[in-house]
Copies of this chain bind each other. A is one copy, B any other.
Amino acid sequence: MDKLSLHNPLFATYVVAATLLILKAVSMSWLTVVRMMQVKGGFRAPEDLKKTALNPEPHPAQIAPNEAVDRIRRIQLNDLENIPFFLFAGLLFVLSDPPLRLTQWLLYGYVVSRFLHFAAYLTARTHETRATLWTVGSVILIFITCWTLFAAIRG
């Protein structure tokens, strides 16, 4: 069967997991926008203090760090450190023809771990809670990467 066909359940599993993670990652940008509008601040560029229709009363404090906005930026940076590498590892993993059930557990498990990590970070749970959820995802990522590397070396 065509490996890259959506009729191939391995590839379809990857595409569902990948698109959900992309939507998750992109939502962080929009959430940053929402929070910047709520607090009317947390901007970063000097020109964001120009008077415009959307910012009729600019004030220097608007480019000071703002925790409500910075929290989303930290979550987004964590996404950047993890999700792109998972998207590559997952694609190469499904191309190495792994068992379907295992693939579903690992890929959907990663998606769930990232959504729970987001919930824990957004609501400021303890470092332990956040770290545990991050660790689940990171171990899955390392596992599928090593699996794929060994498959490539065996040829």
Using a CB–CB cutoff of 8 Å, the interface residues on chain A facing chain B are: 2-4, 6-7, 12, 15-16, 18-20, 22-23, 25-26, 28-30, 33, 43-48, 50, 52-55, 67, 71, 74, 76, 80-85, 87-89, 92, 95-96, 121, 124-128, 130-131, 134, 138, 141-142, 145-146, 148-149, 151-155
Bound: A76/B85 CA distance, A:
13
Q: How far is the CB of A89 from chain B (nearest CB, A)?
A: 5
Q: Establish whether residues B145 and A19, one from each chain, have CB atoms under 8 Å apart when the complex forms.
A: yes
Q: What residues on B are CB-neighbors of A80 within 8 Å? A: 80-81, 84
**How many copies of this chain are found per oligomer?**
3
Q: What residues on B are CB-neighbors of A87 within 8 Å? A: 84, 88
